[in-house]
Amino acid sequence: MSQGMIYNIQRMSIHDGPGLRTTVFLKGCPLHCLWCSNPESQKTTPQMMLFEDLCTGCGTCADVCPNGAVISLGEKFGRDIEKCTDCGLCAESCPSKAREMSGKIMTVDEVMDIVRKDSLFYDNSDGGVTFGGGEPTSGGEFFLDMAQAVRDEGYHVTVDTCGFCPADRFDTTIELADLFLFDCKHMDPEQHKKLTGVDNTLILRNMHAALSSDTEVRIRMPLMPGMNDSDENITAMADFFKEFDRNAIEIMPCHAFGRNKYAALGRNYLMSGEYTPKQLDVVQKRFVSHGFKTTIV
């Protein structure tokens, strides 16, 4: 029985595809986008997250830590990142939930037991199951086995993807998916690498394959001020999608909702500033001028 790393399963989701859905978030992503709002999704291993504002200073964490990684911060307790091994003992004992583990090994059957609980909601709302991440296809055989199991049950399968996936695995995913929510971050390979850590050669190959198939594809664009919202980049996107007679795009303006997660992981938050309504309107008109029909999500 295949198994893999899951960091969240969100039931009754309404933003990850049609109808009411269960969204299964796999841990691990080959991209490291500067704006990532779920930094806990990037690594494939479990991670301890410390939300210091929830700490009550009880000291239980210090009592159970085997590595001396818990440090006193006056009335609260922090951690020494260098000593912490993410063993999870402090999270298990923390009564205030200031310490939580992100990432749990689950089998396909364990995931399906949760998925089936909402089958009536899928039926009554034309909903189903969405696989997200991180990057769900990074789950390899575990991801493919889950997608096959969901499909075998007759549920609608949505895959929320960045598209960075070995071609053979992605072609198999096309056969299993009813819908792709496919991110388009930047059309220039070098700029894409600066923003995400990888170039977009493989991503564009897989996007071409998805758009050439019978599987429904919704193009989404995480929109970052001064990073990927230039007229030059939007022109390149319009030229690419023209081949497929596609002009609908869902734009996702940046937000700072994930800032506290960076602090919880002991990482620096690199983004600064969000769009003002006026700035977003200017960028949206830029898309429209190139023939795009935009939806803000």
Q: In DSSP terms, which residues pair with 5 in a beta bridge? A: 105
DSSP state of 44: S
Say whether both 28 and 128 belong to one domain: yes
Q: What tens digit of pLDDT does each residue of 147-189 get?
A: 999 999 999 999 999 999 999 999 999 999 999 999 999 999 9
CATH code for the domain of 7: 3.20.20.70
Domain termination residue (choose one: 101, 116, 144): 101
Q: Which of 60, 84, 101 is the last residue of a domain?
A: 101
Q: Are residues 270 and 145 in the same domain?
A: yes
Q: Are residues 108 and 69 in the same domain?
A: no
Whether pLDDT at 111 is above 90:
yes
Residues 66, 53: Cα–Cα separation, whole Å: 24
Q: Are residues 91 and 236 in the same domain?
A: no
pLDDT digits (tens, 9 = 90+) for 212-264: 999 999 999 999 999 999 999 999 999 999 999 999 999 999 888 889 999 99
pLDDT above 80 for 272: no
Q: Looking at residue 52, what is its pLDDT?
A: 94
Residue that is written with structure tokens 């019978």 in the block: 214
Same-domain status, 107 and 94: no
Mind giving me the DSSP string for 204-226?
Answer: HHHHHHHHTSSSEEEEEEEE-TT
Cα dihedral 198/6/182/261 (nearest 10): -70
Indicate whether 281 pLDDT > 80.
Answer: yes
Alpha helices in 153-254 (DSSP H): 167-176, 189-196, 201-211, 231-242
Place of tokens 């198939």: 213
pLDDT-derived band of residue 271, with 50, 70 and 90 as boundaries?
confident
**What pLDDT, on a 0 to 100 scale, did the predictor assign at position 255?**
86
User: Same domain, yes or no, for 94 and 214?
Assistant: no
DSSP string, 135-152: -GGGGHHHHHHHHHHHHH
- Of 101, 126, 143, which one is at a domain's C-terminal end? 101
88 with 108, same domain? no
132 shares its domain with 218:
yes
Does residue 111 sit in the same domain as residue 129? yes
133 and 79 share one domain: no
Q: What is the pLDDT of residue 191?
A: 97
CA–CA gap between residue 134 and residue 29 (Å, rounded) = 5
pLDDT at 294: 95
Check whether residue 136 and residue 89 sit in a common domain: no
- HSE on the CB side for 99, CA within 13 Å? 29
**Domain membership of residue 84 as a residue range:** 47-101
How far lies 45's CA from each of 2, 118, 220, 252, in Å? Answer: 17, 28, 28, 28
CA distances (Å), 5 to each of 1, 183, 265, in order?
14, 22, 18
According to DSSP, residue 245 is labeled: T
Provide the number of structural domains found in the chain: 2
Residue 177: the pLDDT is: 98
What is the per-residue pLDDT for 258?
87
CB 274 within 8 A of CB 254: yes
Cβ burial, residue 218 (10 Å; 0-12/13-18/19+): middle
Q: How confident is the model at residue 118 (pLDDT cuts 50, 70, 90)?
A: very high
- The answer on 190 and 60 residing in a single domain is no
Read off the CATH number of the domain in which 51 is found: 3.30.70.20
